[in-house]
Amino acid sequence: MAKILVATFPDTANLLTAVRKARREMFRVYDVFTPFPVHGLDEALGVRRTRLPWATLLCALTGLTTAIVLQGYTNVLDWPLNVGGKPDNSTLAFIPIAFEITVLGAGLATVGAFLVRCGLLPTTRARVADVAATDDRFALVLEWRRTRLDHGQIERLLRQHGAREVVRKVLEL
């Protein structure tokens, strides 16, 4: 349970300035909830670029290795079969499947890693700061902590920057 301050905005331009302003005033931005990805928020929030591509690379390599080992073991080592006089180790013929399994591994791993990293699972209960954040509102959530501004001042500041509503909530987010 955390004390939070939810400020909702009707548009992105005001949201971005408010986020920058709040961070300059030493508030900790817990998160921003938006109906679509807002560009410029990464920089405004100081979100680091995700490391998920490493999961892609790792699993792509795993897939590739699996495919080569599978085809090599079955068709070259375990039971070499003469098909139309082609060599047992017909490496070129093994490429399509190697490619497919690489892509399969990489794709599934990327999405899997993403879902796990973001905690998005069928059993996850959505922790919504503002219901309209999946519709047409942009909700800026600040962690409530002691700064040189008091509650009234920050509320006024947010409203100055276009916030429609500012609500203090105690929520588990």
DSSP state of 27: P
User: Residue 167 interacts with other proteins (CB under 8 A)?
Assistant: no
Closest C-alpha among 118, 133, 151 to residue 27: 151
Residue placing its CB nearer to other proteins in the complex, 90 or 153: 90
User: Residue 75 interacts with other proteins (CB under 8 A)?
Assistant: yes
Please say whether the beta carbons of 140 and 32 come within 8 A: yes
Please say whether the beta carbons of 55 and 110 come within 8 A: yes
Q: How far is the CB of 67 from other proteins (least distance, A)?
A: 9
x/- binding map, residues 132-151, to other proteins, per CB under 8 A?
A: xxxxx--x------------
User: Residue 13 interacts with other proteins (CB under 8 A)?
Assistant: yes
The DSSP bridge pattern shows strands 2-9 and 138-143 to be: antiparallel
Distances (CA, A) of 86 to 73, 78, 99: 17, 17, 21
Residue placing its CB nearer to other proteins in the complex, 156 or 164: 164
Per CB under 8 A, contacts with other proteins among 108-127 are: 108, 110-111, 114-115, 117-127
* Residue among 96, 145, 150, 153 that touches other proteins (CB under 8 A): 96
* Residue among 21, 45, 147, 165 that touches other proteins (CB under 8 A): 45
User: Residue 1 interacts with other proteins (CB under 8 A)?
Assistant: no
State whether residue 106 is helix, strand or coil.
helix
The torsion defined by the Cα of 48, 105, 72 and 93, in degrees rounded to 10, comes to -100
Residue 32: is it exposed, middle or buried by C-beta count within 10 angstroms (0-12/13-18/19+)? buried
The footprint of other proteins (CB under 8 A) covers: 11-13, 16, 31-42, 45, 47, 49-50, 52-53, 56, 70-71, 74-75, 78-79, 81, 83, 86, 90, 93-94, 96-97, 99-101, 103-104, 106-108, 110-111, 114-115, 117-129, 131-136, 139
